[in-house]
Structures are given as C-alpha cells and as structure tokens.
Amino acid sequence: TEEAESLHVVLFPFLARGHIPAFLRLAALLHELRPGITVTLVSTARLLASLTLPATTPPIRLQALPFAPADHGLPPGAESLADLHVHQFIAFFQASESLRPAFEAFVSGLRSPVCIIADAFFAWTADVARARGAFHAVFLPGGAFGNAVFFSVWEHLPHTLPAAGDVFPLPDFPSVVLHRAQIPRYMLAATGADPWTAFFRRVISSCRKTDAVLVNTVQELESSGLDMLKRSFGVQPWPIGPILAPPTSSDSQDDASIIRWLDAHPPRSVLYVSFGSQNSINAGQMTQLALGLEASGRPFLWVLRPPLGLDATDGFKSEWLPSGFEERTAKANRGLLVRGWAPQVRILAHPSTGAFMSHCGWNSILESLCHGVPLIGWPLGAEQFFNAMLVAEWGVCVEVARGNMESSAVASGAVAETVGTVMGETAKGDEMRRNAAVIARAMAAAWEGPRGSSAASLEGFLRCVEMS
Ligand code: UDP
C-alpha cells in the first residue's frame, strides 16, 4: 500500500517537556517538505499527556513507552529533569535507557521505511535503527560549537590532565582554550571513573554510530562549529536552524501588563534579564546584580527565580533582594520584576528591549539575535559557557559573570559598567548592535525560500534519508 511506501519519521526527544517543542517544530518543517510522511512522537505517557500539539497535517501520532522511574530510586512521578535535583540527574539518565526494549518493539512493528530522529541522550537508538535497517539521525536542539565543546570536554576531561592549569586547550580542538571557571560543577568533579563521565562517554560513542546529525543552527554563522561536530561524530551535520519557539499566545493579565510596561519606555532602552527555565544565580550574586541594575540607571525587566539552593515552593521572597530595592525601582518606574514565567519571545521582539542579560541557553540566544538584540552573558551551566564564547566571538555578547558557585563573585559596579557599555552610545555598544542586526538577517535568510541555507539543508537531509 501507499502507506507502506511513504517514510515514517519517529521522533524521540529526551524526557523533558522543554525538549519536546523543538522536535514538534522539526516535525512541522518535515511535513512542509514532504506532506506524505507519517510522524510519530515517542515519549512517556505522562509527558505525552501534558502536550498541546500544534495543528499539523497530517497529524502527529503519539507512542507512549512504559517508564518506571521508581525502579531506579527516583520519585515515582519523575518524568522530567525539571522535577529533579541535579544529583538525581544521573539516575534519571540511566533510567531513561530502560526504554530501549519497548522502543525496539515499537520500531520493529513498523512496516514503512523508517527514519529515527532522536535526542543525543537517546543516541543508543542508532543500534535499534541498524538492526531494523532504518535511517538514524541525532537532533541537537542546541548549537554546533556549544555541543562539540561540551562532548569534547566529557570525552577528555581536559581540566583533569596533568598539564592543565587554570587555562587549558581541548585536546582534539587545540584552538579552543577554556578556563576552569567555564567547566560546569558536575564536570569539575568528574574523575573519569564516575557515573556522569561513563554516561556521557556512552552517549558520545553512540552518537558516532548515527547516520546524520541535525543541528539547530545556521551554516553561515557556525561553519567552524559544524566542522568540529563533523570531526567529533564522523558524520555529516545538517544545519537546519533557527528553529524558534513561536511567541506564547497567552493573553494573561500579567503578560499584557508586561507589554504595556515596555510600551511606556523609549526604543532600545530596557534591559531584559532572565536566566532561563532551569538555572539560578546564588544569593550573593542576586544582591550584587540588583544593586548593579539600580546603579546602571537604565530600565530593566527582570524575571526572578529563587536563588540557588533556596526552596521555591512558596514562590519568590522579597527578602532575597536588597532591602528597599523593589520599592525604589517600582517608584521610579525603573524596574519591572516578574515572578514566574515571562513571555520571553514577545519581550525580545518588543522595540523597547535594548539588550538581554542571559544565561546563554541556546534558545535564548537565537530568540535574542533573531530580533537583533545584543547580549550580556552570564553562563551558569552545561554548554552555556561555550555558547557564551561563540556569541562573544560573533561580537554580540559581553560576559559579565561566569557560573553560580561560591567562587564566582560578581560586583555591582562591574554589572553597572557592563550594562552601560552594551546599552549606551559607546563604540562597543554600536558595534554589537550592528553585528546583531547582521546575524538577525542571516537567521531570517536561512529559511527564506527553498534556497535559504537551512531550507536547502533539511531538503538535503531528506534526500539522503530517501536514498538510503
Ligand atoms: N522562557 C520563557 N519565559 C521565561 C523563561 C524562559 O518563555 O520566563 C523560554 C525562552 O523563551 C526559551 C526557553 O524558555 O525558549 C529557555 O530555553 P533556553 O535554551 O534559553 O534555556 P534553558 O531554560 O533550557 O536553560
């Protein structure tokens, strides 16, 4: 039958609500290029039930796999990293590998030609694909350079090598020189014989069995990062970004009042401050940041998360901010403090937003730069340190601080100064805005018509799948 002939794409994002949207947007792009394909999204029943699926034609099928986190010493309902503490992550990664038999059974029951597109943490699906004669790709929702460096650090633990001082090169990419402060906490503690390293090295060796890597980046912006990935994994990386979150369509009162607040400020005058959905700065840093924002004399919109290690169950407490800070900034109409979730894409698209102080999560970077908004970087974990290096090299980011460990001090004076440099009429600020505008154009061009580099790349990937 025709159904048996047409391609069946099986998407397998990592188990976290935040990882699924990029896969869904990838599904929509695949449908646009090949309306006849079938797409199945595989995850746990709980995560699938929590999804709001976009109206795509043909619709996305859902396949739930049984998952028993309690068997791995995790809380019974834990089906996402967002529900867990960092010390439970490794058990969760290990538990996720228990999905293999059910995934294998599902894939072997499919009749049509199959292409599995999985998260890097599920790169073990490459073995399943090989056994079934299916095509296999890993989809990296992050950038090329950040991922390549992240994997390389796990593979070599360069900071543990005898010759390493505070600064050391990556053994496989010697032109990339890192500082110890750019190594995330759990990597710093790695010895090579620990479960984190073992897990990541297994991921890396599985990634080397895949047939292709799809990356949420743009060829013109990341040619050297893409070359690094190619060398790391030994397969063709296909840059298909930016794959962006659509603006949240929430019409909540809170969102409306945030936008009204922005409306009341002059163009490019507001600093937006947010450290993403997972990371927090520590209590001392929060004080210095608050004082620095106040001293900068510029309007700011700050999305507050409780400081590192402090319980968030009762929401954000005013005592975590310097005394009188909230009243002073509100009175002068200088600062808007948002507790909880902010409509980030709408904020970055707003003409009043002039710069973004960010933890350099990849989505935040793409969302900022596609609107030509330069960055003030404060990377906190994972590959954010390496993303920050990349955007600094693009000339669109100045790093204000690194990390949230006790050793990562930041002074209010330095915060105020950096904000002034980036947002003011300085040579550096002007240059950053020009560079950000060039990048915004490159990002738009990548998906403008079938000849845009990312559109052509996804088409190239599909042809490669079809010819396999
Ligand atoms: N985000 C948002 N409102 C918030 C915080 C985050 O809309 O208050 C969105 C943001 O637009 C982005 C994503 O959450 O799409 C965060 O992704 P990123 O890769 O930047 O960082 P992560 O949260 O994964 O560390």
Would you list the DSSP string of 441-453? HHHHHHTSSTTSH
8-state DSSP, 62: E
Please tell me the distance between residue 362's alpha carbon and the centre of ligand 1 in angstroms: 9
Strands 270-274 and 61-65: unpaired
In this structure, the residue with its CA closest to atom 2 of ligand 1 is: 344
In this structure, the residue with its CA closest to atom 17 of ligand 1 is: 363
Residue 178, judged by CB atoms within 10 A of its CB (0-12, 13-18, 19+), counts as buried
Please tell me the distance between residue 296's alpha carbon and the centre of ligand 1 in angstroms: 25
Q: Helix, strand, coil proportions of the chain in percent (round to 5)?
A: 45, 15, 35
Q: Contact at 8 Å (CB) between 419 and 292?
A: yes
Q: Read off the pLDDT of residues 350-389 as tens digits, 9 standing for 90 and up.
A: 999 999 999 999 999 999 999 999 999 999 999 999 999 9
Rounded to whole angstroms, the Cα distance separating 180 from 403 reads: 11
Q: Which residues line ligand 1 (CB under 6 A)?
A: 18, 245, 274, 276-279, 303, 341-342, 344-345, 361-364, 367
Please tell me the distance between residue 276's alpha carbon and the centre of ligand 1 in angstroms: 4
Q: Which amino acid, 320?
A: W
ipTM of this complex prediction, to 2 decimal places: 0.99
Q: Along the 468 residues of the chain, how does pLDDT read in single tens digits?
A: 445 579 999 999 999 888 898 999 999 999 999 999 999 999 999 999 988 887 766 689 999 999 988 888 998 878 777 778 878 888 998 899 999 999 999 999 999 999 999 999 999 999 999 999 999 999 999 999 999 999 999 999 999 999 999 999 999 999 999 999 999 988 999 999 999 999 999 999 999 999 999 999 999 999 999 999 999 999 999 999 999 977 766 667 789 999 999 999 999 999 999 999 889 999 999 999 999 999 999 999 999 999 998 866 778 899 999 999 999 988 888 999 999 889 999 999 999 999 999 999 999 999 999 999 999 999 999 999 999 999 999 999 999 999 999 889 899 999 999 999 999 999 999 999 999 999 999 999 999 999 999 999 999 999 999 999
Mutate to test the pocket of ligand 1, among 254, 344, 357, 387 (most ligand atoms within 8 A of CB): 344
Q: Read off the pLDDT of residues 95-149 as tens digits, 9 standing for 90 and up.
A: 999 999 999 999 999 999 999 999 999 999 999 999 999 999 999 999 999 999 9
Ligand 1 atom at minimum distance from 276 CA: 23
Q: How many CB atoms lie within 10 A of CB 465?
A: 23
In this structure, the residue with its CA closest to atom 11 of ligand 1 is: 344
Q: Contact at 8 Å (CB) between 297 and 326?
A: no
Ligand 1 atom at minimum distance from 384 CA: 25
138: three-class secondary structure by DSSP:
strand
Rounded to whole angstroms, the Cα distance separating 277 from 260 reads: 23
